[in-house]
Every structure is written in C-alpha cells, then in structure tokens.
Amino acid sequence: MLAFLSKYVGSYAVLVMFIPTIIAYWWAIKYIEKLEIKKGVYYDYPDVNDSEEKGSSKKYPPKKYSLGEEYKMHNLNCKYARSFLNKIADKVEHKSHRVNIKLIEKAIIFAKKWHDGQFRKTGEPYYSHPLAVASMVMGYKFSTNIIVAAILHDVVEDGACTVELISKEFNSRIAEIVQRLTRIKHDENHNETKLSIEEIMNDLIKADDTEAMLVKAIDRLHNLKTVHGMQANKQRKTVIETLKSIIQHIAYTVDNLNIANKLKLEEEMYQHCKNILKVSNVEY
C-alpha cells in the first residue's frame, strides 16, 4: 500500500498513511476527556506547579476533601461563592487550565467557618474579601496553591485557626504562604506582636516568596478598591503604606512569576492610590 501510494504522491505517502491514525488517536483522547469530565474527575487533577514544597517534584498525597462536623453549617450556597466558582469554571472551560476545584471548594467552606460573624467596614461578610482577592489572583496566576492561599490568607490573623490546621487540611506550601502573610506572630512564650506591612514585605523578600508577595499585593489592591469603608485617616495611611512598602516590589514579583502584562498590577495600584489622595487633598 505504501509503495503504491509512493508512486503517485512520493514521500507524502507516509503522511497519508498516518492521517487516519492521528485522527483516531485525537478522537480517542477527546472521548476519554469527555468521559472524565462527565465523571467529575477531569478538572480535579492538581496543577503541575502545586507540589508540596516550592520547586519540589514530590507528588500530591491523596486529598481529603471532607471537613469536620463543625463546618456543616457552612456551604457554597451564597452569592460570593457562586460568583467565584463560576469565574473558575469559565476560565477552566475557555483556557483549558486545570486546578483542583474540590480543594478550592473546601477552602471556601473552611474560610467561611473561620470568618463566621466577621464583617468588613463596607458591611459585607468578611469572607467576601478573601474570595475577591483569590478571584483577582487567578487573573495573574491560575494555580491551586495560590488560589487556596488567597482564600485562606486571613484565617490565622483574624481568628483562632492555626497554621498547623491549614497544613493538615490542605498542604504545607499553602500553610507556608498563609503563615508568611499573617501579621500576628507569637514567640516561644506565646507573646503576641503585630508586624508592620514593611516588616511583612521584608520577610517575604528575604524568603524570595513571590507567590506570597503576589497575594499580598492583590490583597492590598482590593483594600484600595474598597477603601470607601474606611475613615479618611485610615485611607491615607493605607495609601502611604502601599507606596512606601508594596508597590516598589510588584515588578520583581510578576517578573519572577512570568506574568504577562507586567505593568498592569503596578499601574492599577498606583492609580487607586493617586485617586484616593486626590479626594483627600493630599500631595503625593
């Protein structure tokens, strides 16, 4: 058959012979993909960047997606969770990204439990803030660990949750990011101190943890976007902290994470700072 085709089409005979095989192989892959989507497992694979330790090739251990009885009253049935999960589903569907959706859903319920009864100055439930931060984060880096860490970034600082519990329920890398973003620190004598934003950023720079730096930058960006809930003096303090300790490190952060449109985050943050100070009639 190959010799016969070679007589008429030359070296292209090999390609002609393989076309049906390639089509059959492609069809089989798409068919298996549809079966896995139908079973709900296709999008549950871990991100290749989400190994337990930064830069490690260690594979994920089996995940436990259920939470204890104390979480039963918290669920995904709220406008904030639904909107957030719809954004993830849309991104996955249209860009073929893979994240561990079950782990992200678990993180939402976990955050709702540990932020229960807390509210923002705007009057919204507090957990709406970390969900908004995570939603903004995934626009820059679509990774399970970073998304989950963004959802959980305030649970230790603002409640009785511990880093050890996060490590147990999620993984050590997520716990590490949350710990590095937590301003409340305890020494061996259980004495409590609250680090400044400058100290937090210095620690992140020393650790060269650009993933945590990204979460911190976007956490601050969301605070700037919702600054109307703060008093004028608090607004100005937030802007000054941003200009002094955060904005200067954004370029380094996005560059090391290979994020496209490197200046977008820096420009957006600077513009919010400028607008807030203009309203406050403060020179910058």
Residues 80 and 137 in one domain: yes
Residues 163 and 84 in one domain: yes
Residues 108 and 57 in one domain: yes
pLDDT tens digit sequence for 239-250: 999 999 999 999
What is the pTM (predicted TM-score) of this model?
0.78
> For residues 191 and 219, which has the higher predicted lDDT (pLDDT)?
219
Number of domains in the chain: 3
pLDDT over threshold 50, residue 218: yes
Residues 265 and 168 in one domain: no
**pLDDT category, 22, cuts 50, 70, 90?**
confident
Q: Is-contact 284 243, C-beta < 8 A?
A: yes
| Mean pLDDT of all residues belonging to the chain | 83
In what helix (H) or strand (E) does residue 275 lie, and over which residues does it extend? Answer: helix 264-279
Residues 267 and 171 in one domain: no
Q: Is-contact 140 118, C-beta < 8 A?
A: no
Residues 50 and 119 in one domain: yes
Tokens of 84: 């957030």
Q: How many CA atoms lie within 13 A of 22 on its CB side?
A: 6
Domain extent, residue 214, equals 185-284
> Which residue shows structure tokens 């079966």?
35
pLDDT tens digit sequence for 46-100: 444 454 444 444 554 556 788 999 999 999 999 999 999 999 988 877 655 678 8
Final residue of a structural domain among 166, 182, 198: 182
CA distance 239 to 18: 62
pLDDT tens digit sequence for 155-178: 999 878 999 999 999 999 999 999
Residues 135 and 227 in one domain: no
Residues 151 and 107 in one domain: yes
Residues 219 and 283 in one domain: yes
Tokens of 196: 């400044």
Residues 129 and 211 in one domain: no
